[in-house]
């Protein structure tokens, strides 16, 4: 058994790959082994995978309904065998609400990443590669967005668009792309005058092709790291908006909104606010650990040594 494992490892690590697939897998394997060497990063990855799993099978895991509680008998119960994390002021099981809330958290994270990162990447690489007035205009717009604190700007957007989870996501996405644009631009500036970009120009490649196929792949790894590290902040902003009543609306089990509703009983029934708080903490921590690990694993400067 160990023999076949060794040869598979050798196949991946060979410096003479025989096919595109083998070369790519070999590179992925190296990245993974660098990542896996960092125990904390693996823990972070584990937390995120757990979140994904919980969100995927929420109806199977949740012992009770997240929306319907027993107002008569089960208000603000302490943690027990039937309600592991207790119940809230509507008599709903907190654990079930947390489990369903993971779907909302995931929705926020994924949508923000899908909207904000590509906008930032596009704006940054375009500005950095084109230079001149294109750069000036795009970067001044970026600066305007950067000048406002994120939460304040998000508040303004939500106030204009109306409260609700979708609008909160749009607001957060619109406020989180500027740093990505800055990073992408900085990376673009360092590579745009390199010989390998000049060589591609000499192949007759159009500027569009150069940016999309040669510059963007170089920016993506630092962007992934940054987005991952920002995830904690995004979750907190979403929770903050929820807490202020501008994000997810009742009865959605959004974690921030759950803390807000638990605030009134924090002294006597602390678990109502503490449970979603802990969930936010753990997921944020997971993303931070993952981001740190990715930074080491994807570091372009260390090549593939």
Partner 1 sequence: MTPALAIDKLRVVYDDFIALKDVSLTVAQGESFGLVGESGSGKSTLLRAVAGLAPVTSGTIDVGGKRLGKTREKEFYRQVQMVFQDPYGSLHPRQTVDRLLLEPLDIHGFADTEKRIQRALDEVGLGSGFRFRYSHQLSGGQRQRVAIARALILEPSVLLLDEPTSALDASVQAEVLNLLEQIRRNRKLTFVMVSHDLGVITHMCERLMVMQTGEEVERLEAGDLASRKVTKDYTRNLLVASEGFVREP
Query: What are residue 87's DSSP bridge partners?
Result: 93
Token digits for 136?
Answer: 């000036």
Burial 67-94 (b: 16+ CB within 10 A, else e): eebeeeebebbeeeeebebbbbebbbbb
In the complex, minimum distance from the CB of residue 3 to partner 1, in angstroms, rounded to a whole number: 25
Q: Does 204 bind partner 1 (CB under 8 A)?
A: yes
CA angle 233-234-236, nearest 5°? 65
In the complex, minimum distance from the CB of residue 119 to partner 1, in angstroms, rounded to a whole number: 23
In the complex, minimum distance from the CB of residue 214 to partner 1, in angstroms, rounded to a whole number: 6
Residue whose CB is less far from partner 1, 60 or 203: 203
Give yes or no for a cis peptide into 146 (omega within 30° of 0). no
Q: Which of 1, 4, 5, 15 binds partner 1 (CB under 8 A)?
A: 15
In the complex, minimum distance from the CB of residue 212 to partner 1, in angstroms, rounded to a whole number: 12
Residue whose CB is less far from partner 1, 215 or 227: 215
Residue whose CB is less far from partner 1, 207 or 250: 207
Distances (CA, A) of 203 to 131, 255, 286: 21, 53, 44
Q: Which of 8, 27, 39, 264 binds partner 1 (CB under 8 A)?
A: 27
Only segment of 117-125, 128-136, 201-209, 222-230 that touches partner 1 (CB under 8 A): 201-209
Tell the residue number behind the tokens 């903050």, with chain if given.
240
Q: Does 218 bind partner 1 (CB under 8 A)?
A: yes
Task: Say how far apart CA 62 and CA 156 lie, in whole Å.
Answer: 35
Q: Which of 150, 214, 226, 295 binds partner 1 (CB under 8 A)?
A: 214
Dihedral (CA of 19, 20, 21, 22) sign = positive
Token digits for 297?
Answer: 């694993």
Q: Does 17 bind partner 1 (CB under 8 A)?
A: yes
Q: Which residues bind partner 1 (CB under 8 A)?
A: 15-20, 22-23, 27, 194-196, 198-205, 209, 213-214, 217-218, 300, 303-305
């Amino acid at each position: 058994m160990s023999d076949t494992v060794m040869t598979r490892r050798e196949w991946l690590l060979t410096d003479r790959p025989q096919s595109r697939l083998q070369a790519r897998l070999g590179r992925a394997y190296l990245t993974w082994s660098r990542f896996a060497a960092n125990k904390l990063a693996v823990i972070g990855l584990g937390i995120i995978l757990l979140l994904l799993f919980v969100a995927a099978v929420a109806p199977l895991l949740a012992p009770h309904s997240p929306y319907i509680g027993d107002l008569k008998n089960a208000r603000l119960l302490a943690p027990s065998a039937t309600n592991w994390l207790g119940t809230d002021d509507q008599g709903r099981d907190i654990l079930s609400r947390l489990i369903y809330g993971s779907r909302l958290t995931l929705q926020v994270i994924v949508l923000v990443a899908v909207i904000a990162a590509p906008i930032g990447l596009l704006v940054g690489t375009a500005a950095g590669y084109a230079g001149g007035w294109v750069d000036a205009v795009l970067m001044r717009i970026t600066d305007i967005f950067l000048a406002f604190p994120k939460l304040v700007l998000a508040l303004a957007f939500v106030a204009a668009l109306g409260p609700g989870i979708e609008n909160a996501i749009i607001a957060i996405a619109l406020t989180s792309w500027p740093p990505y644009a800055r990073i992408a631009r900085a990376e673009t500036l360092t590579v745009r005058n390199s010989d390998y970009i000049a060589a591609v120009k000499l192949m007759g490649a159009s500027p569009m092709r150069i940016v999309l196929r040669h510059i963007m792949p170089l920016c993506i790894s630092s962007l992934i790291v940054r987005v991952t590290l920002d995830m904690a902040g995004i979750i907190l902003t979403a929770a903050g908006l929820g807490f202020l009543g501008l994000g997810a609306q009742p009865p959605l089990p959004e974690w921030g909104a759950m803390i807000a509703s638990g605030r009134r009983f924090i002294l006597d029934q602390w678990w109502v606010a503490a449970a979603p708080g802990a969930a936010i903490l753990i997921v944020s921590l997971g993303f931070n650990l993952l981001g740190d690990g990715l930074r080491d694993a994807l570091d372009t400067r260390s090549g593939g040594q």
